[in-house]
């Protein structure tokens, strides 16, 4: 695995108060008909943490993420982000308060270039209007230069220089995942939510993604929630792990505590006493 790279960063140089990402979820419940996707789940994520949410298939992990990011609105409970109740916020408002995400199934525009896909994410930071953009005033040019500087920094960080002008649909799956991460970073999020970012990747691509996420967390100070099935990766990079099973919170703790938790072992491996 390649070593971390230390470099000045536009995002990393932001004021400390612009990096604050305190998330508190209290007694969250979401059901579809008679099925409880999430049931009375409470958890906290603190600024600078890389926290993982794990569980067997159907445990409610993606449903929980969809509640945090506004795709679903829970029937019960509360989600507080930096002191603000965001429980019923729509997705575009959550992006505005600093929550970005990647998706389990890639949600990119395949006919557009890598750079164009990432530039679309910058619209929330555009302060000019329609008329000034039509005449491309000096203020608009100055702002566009700043947007491009940030995008080029992210492209350089994710080592995508060679594919920046290629259409996304022509790229292999592992690079598409990297572009999806780049687009999420283009939002300049305080909290980045990652839904199975390693799915479908080969070993080398996983190693690169691990390196990127660790540098984002350690050097850039980015707060992250990670949902992932690859337990070797989760145990090696997460500081704290929350386990869900059938929509309920089964346990929470450090990787060492979770790996020896009897209920977690039972959820993943079955009742070993019956073997």
pLDDT of residue 200: 87
Six token digits for residue 89 = 């916020």
Asked whether residue 215 is assigned to any structural domain, the reply reads: yes
Asked whether residue 104 is assigned to any structural domain, the reply reads: no
Six token digits for residue 14 = 């932001």
Q: How far apart are CA 132 and CA 68, in angstroms?
A: 35
Asked whether residue 217 is assigned to any structural domain, the reply reads: yes
Q: How far apart are CA 78 and CA 174, in angstroms?
A: 35
Asked whether residue 39 is assigned to any structural domain, the reply reads: yes
3 state DSSP class of 54: strand
pLDDT of residue 274: 38
pLDDT of residue 203: 92
Six token digits for residue 58 = 């159907």
Number of domains in the chain: 1
pLDDT of residue 11: 54
Q: How far apart are CA 160 and CA 251, in angstroms?
A: 38
Asked whether residue 156 is assigned to any structural domain, the reply reads: no
Asked whether residue 265 is assigned to any structural domain, the reply reads: yes
Regions in the chain scoring below 70 on pLDDT? 1-16, 125-141, 269-275
CA 273 to chain centre: 38
Asked whether the beta carbons of 71 and 56 are under 8 A apart, the reply is: no
Asked whether residue 105 is assigned to any structural domain, the reply reads: no
Domain around 229: 20-98+189-274
Asked whether residue 46 is assigned to any structural domain, the reply reads: yes
The CATH number that applies at residue 255 is 3.40.50.300
Strand arrangement, sheet containing 223-227:
99-101, 191-195, 223-227, 50-54, 240-245, 248-253
Backbone φ/ψ region at 27: left (φ over 0), alpha (ψ -120 to 50), beta: left
């Amino acid at each position: 695995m390649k070593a971390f790279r230390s470099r000045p960063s536009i995002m990393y140089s932001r004021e400390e108060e612009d990096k604050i990402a305190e998330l508190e979820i209290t007694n969250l419940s979401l059901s579809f008909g008679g099925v409880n996707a999430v049931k009375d789940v409470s958890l906290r994520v603190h600024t600078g943490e890389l926290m993982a949410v794990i569980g067997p298939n159907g445990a409610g992990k993606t449903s929980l993420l969809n509640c945090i990011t506004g795709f679903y609105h829970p029937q019960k409970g509360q989600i507080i982000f930096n002191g603000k109740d965001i429980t019923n916020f729509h997705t575009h408002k959550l992006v505005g308060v600093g929550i970005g995400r990647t998706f389990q199934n890639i949600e990119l525009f395949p006919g557009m270039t890598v750079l164009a896909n990432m530039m679309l994410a910058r619209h929330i930071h555009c302060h000019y209007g329609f008329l000034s953009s039509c005449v491309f005033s000096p203020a608009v040019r100055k702002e566009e230069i700043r947007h491009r500087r940030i995008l080029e920094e992210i492209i350089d960080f994710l080592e995508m220089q060679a594919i920046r002008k290629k259409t996304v649909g022509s790229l292999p799956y592992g690079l598409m995942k990297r572009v999806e991460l780049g687009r999420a970073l283009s939002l300049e999020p305080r909290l980045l939510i990652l839904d199975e970012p390693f799915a479908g990747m080969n070993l080398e691509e996983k190693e690169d993604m691990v390196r990127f996420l660790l540098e984002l967390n350690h050097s850039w100070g980015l707060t992250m929630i990670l949902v992932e099935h690859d337990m070797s990766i989760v145990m090696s990079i997460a500081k704290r792990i929350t386990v869900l099973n059938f929509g309920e919170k089964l346990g929470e703790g450090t990787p060492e505590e979770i790996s020896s938790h009897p209920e977690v072992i039972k959820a993943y491996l079955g009742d070993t006493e019956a073997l």
